[in-house]
Structure 1
Amino acid sequence: MRKKYFLGFCSLVLIVLLAGRTCAAEPLFVTAPHKMMVDVGLQHAEVLRASPSSAALGIDCGMADMCGIDPCTCGSPDEWGHCACNGTKKTPVSYKVMVDDPKVASVTVSGAKLTVKGLSAGQTNVTVTAHLQHYTDAVQTITVTVNSPFYLFWILPVAAVAAVLLLWMFKRKKKGKR
């Protein structure tokens, strides 16, 4: 009989501790361009912006996780109910990128800076995923178009004109020596 009351009391305490705390995550929003253009061999950088950009998370003190949330029994919870008796730390959004065709472009992300380098002419999609604990991940697709380098369009005509001038000068010098 005592065991039943004890289990009931423990269940009640657990319900009170977790009251008002849910496992549902809030949405995270990320803004990035929907289209980017870059020439082969060149790079283009954009700054990714997420809202919120960071969160003050409680520093884990080793309590057991329940439904992804530590029940704070020490009386110092962060805004998500995690134990913060060791204080809080500002945790920024982390980004992950995936390129559909890595032969067309290489993409890196450092902090919130997205850098695209054109590898060969073509088009590919880049999927950017923003992650912040306690928020729903935000996913955005960017269409990257890699163009042939502009200098290829004028270097060939200039080289042809230079070759004709050199031949003309060479023939003119030969005529002058006779």
Structure 2
Amino acid sequence: MYAMAAAVDREAGRLTDLDSAIGDADHGSNLQRGFAAVSAVLEKETPDTPGGVLTLAGRQLISTVGGASGPLYGTLLRRTGKELGDAGAVSRQELASALGTGVGAVAQLGGAQAGDKTMLDALLPAVDALGSSFHAAREAAGAGALATVPLQARKGRASYLGERSIGHQDPGATSAALLIGALAEVAA
């Protein structure tokens, strides 16, 4: 979570720029505020399991991040954490399975699927690739985010733009790629 907070700090301006083209120009600042709050709560209270950390982080994001990002990222982390349970250590395969559950919860909450120009376009290929390696997951998430450029948004605020959303990278997919990148960085 600390690596994700650092990545969001580094990329907040870029995320906001991406969001200003097809959204409401607050994705970077919202995530920056949310992950700063996650870091602060983890400094005070550090659960002793990976699942506990993710569940706490998810709750914090839901309570501090406005717009769709808080509920979506919060759901992702909470459901992944719940799936991991009380295990003190988690294998990459177990994490991939739990993350798949979290991504499924995000899809259900947002009513989105692959190709809708959302965070799922980065998360779904990352989960598939995580079975191979953390590096493969990072590469798949990055490629998924880039692949949103030619898509027309079918969900979220960008969908209101119709064809005008084509040609812009989705900020949610980009921030999801940052999350997977942070995971790969820490795992390395």
Under TM normalisation by the shorter chain, which class is it?
under 0.3
**Larger CA Rg, structure 1 vs 2:** 1
More strand by share: 1
Question: How does the TM-score come out when normalised to structure 2?
Answer: 0.23
More helix by share: 2
